[in-house]
A and B are shown apart, each in its own frame.
Chain A
Amino acid sequence: MVTDKLTATHQFIEELTKHSGKAFMSATDIGQALRYLEENGIPNNKHEDYKYCNIEAILRKEFKTITGKENDLSIPDLKQNYVIISAYNIYVFNGKLHSDPFDFPEGVSISPINNASTEYLHNHLTKYAPSNGDALIALNTAYADRGMFLHVTKSFNKPIVIHHINSSEGNLFFNVRNLFVIEKNAEAQLVEFHHASNNKYFTNNLTEISVAENAHVNHTIIQDAGAVSYSINTTKVHQQKQSNYTNSCFTFSGALVRNNLSIAVDAEFAEAHLFGLFITKSNQLVDNHTLVDHLKPNCQSNELYKGIVGGKSTAVFNGQIFVEKDAQKTNAYQSSKNILLSDDATVNAKPELEIYANDVKCSHGTSTGKVDENALFYLKARGIGEESAHKLLLQAFAHEVIDQLKSDTIKEKVSELFEQSLQD
Chain B
Amino acid sequence: MLFVKNLKAEIDGKEILKGINLEVKAGEVHAIMGPNGSGKSTLSAVLAGREDYQVTEGSVSFNGKDLLELSAEYRAREGVFLAFQYPVEIPGVSNINFLRTALNEIRKYKGLPDMEAKDFLALIKEKQKLVELDAKLTGRSVNEGFSGGEKKRNEIFQMAVLEPKLAILDETDSGLDIDALRIVATGVNKLKSKNNATIVITHYQRLLDYIVPDFVHILYNGKIVKSGGKELALEMEEKGYDEIKKEYDTTTV
Contact = CB atoms under 8 A, between A and B. Distances in A.
- A, B assembled together: yes
Interface of A: 372, 374-375, 377-386, 388-389, 392-393, 395-397, 399-400
24 contacts: A375-B90, A377-B72, A377-B88, A378-B87, A378-B88, A379-B93, A379-B98, A379-B102, A380-B49, A380-B71, A380-B73, A381-B73, A381-B75, A381-B76, A381-B81, A382-B76, A382-B102, A382-B158, A383-B162, A392-B98, A395-B93, A396-B90, A396-B92, A397-B92
B248 interface: no
Contacts of B48: 381
Given A374-B88, A396-B91, A381 B82 contact: yes
Nearest to A382: B102
Interface in B78-123: 81-82, 84, 87-88, 90-93, 97-99, 101-103, 105-106, 109
Per DSSP, chain A at the interface is: helix
Contacts of B88: 372, 374-375, 377-378
B219 to A, nearest CB: 21
Given A377-B88, A381-B76, A382-B81, 15 more contacts: A375-B90, A377-B50, A380-B49, A380-B71, A380-B72, A381-B84, A383-B76, A383-B102, A383-B106, A383-B162, A384-B76, A384-B102, A388-B101, A389-B73, A395-B93
Counting chain A CB atoms within 10 Å of each CB, the highest count among B51, B81, B102 belongs to B102
Interface residues of B, number: 32
A374 B91 CA distance: 13
A267 to B, nearest CB: 36
Contacts of B50: 377
Contacts of A381: 48-49, 72-73, 75-76, 81-82, 84
A140 B14 CA distance: 63
Counting chain B CB atoms within 10 Å of each CB, the highest count among A372, A380, A395, A397 belongs to A380
Interface string B162-198: 1000000000000000000000000000000000000
Nearest 4 pairs between A and B by C-beta?
A396-B92, A383-B76, A382-B102, A380-B72
Contacts of A384: 73, 76, 98, 101-102, 105
B30 interface: no
B77 interface: yes
B98 A382 contact: yes
B83 to A, nearest CB: 10
A383 B98 CA distance: 10
A239 B48 CA distance: 56
B77 A383 contact: yes
A393 B101 CA distance: 13
A389 B93 CA distance: 10
Nearest to A373: B52
Given A381-B72, A384-B73, A399 B92 contact: yes
Contacts of B71: 380, 386
B90 A378 contact: yes
Contacts of B99: 382
A307 to B, nearest CB: 16
A3 to B, nearest CB: 58
B90 A379 contact: yes
A6 to B, nearest CB: 53
B93 A396 contact: yes
A392 B87 contact: no
Nearest to B93: A396
Contacts of A372: 88, 90
Contacts of A380: 49, 71-73, 76
Nearest to A386: B73
A380 B74 CA distance: 8
A395 B106 CA distance: 21
Contact of B109 (A383, A397, A399): A383
A381 B109 CA distance: 14
Contacts of A389: 73
A162 B23 CA distance: 66
A381 to B, nearest CB: 5
Contacts of B91: 396
A388 B92 CA distance: 15
Contacts of A396: 90-93, 141
B73 A383 contact: yes
Contacts of B51: 377
Contacts of A378: 84, 87-88, 90, 142
Contacts of B102: 379, 382-384
Contacts of A379: 90, 93, 98, 102
Contacts of B103: 383
B73 A393 contact: no
B93 A393 contact: yes
Interface string B140-159: 01100000000000000010
A397 B93 CA distance: 9
A384 B103 CA distance: 8
B77 to A, nearest CB: 5
A384 B162 CA distance: 12
Nearest to B103: A383
B101 A392 contact: yes
Given A378-B87, A382-B158, A384-B73, A395 B92 contact: yes
Contacts of B158: 382
Contacts of A386: 71, 73
A388 B105 contact: yes
Contacts of A375: 88, 90
Interface string B43-73: 0000011110000000000000000000111
Given A388-B105, A392-B101, A382 B162 contact: yes
A391 to B, nearest CB: 9
A374 B90 CA distance: 9
Contacts of A385: 73, 105
B98 A400 contact: no
Contacts of B75: 381
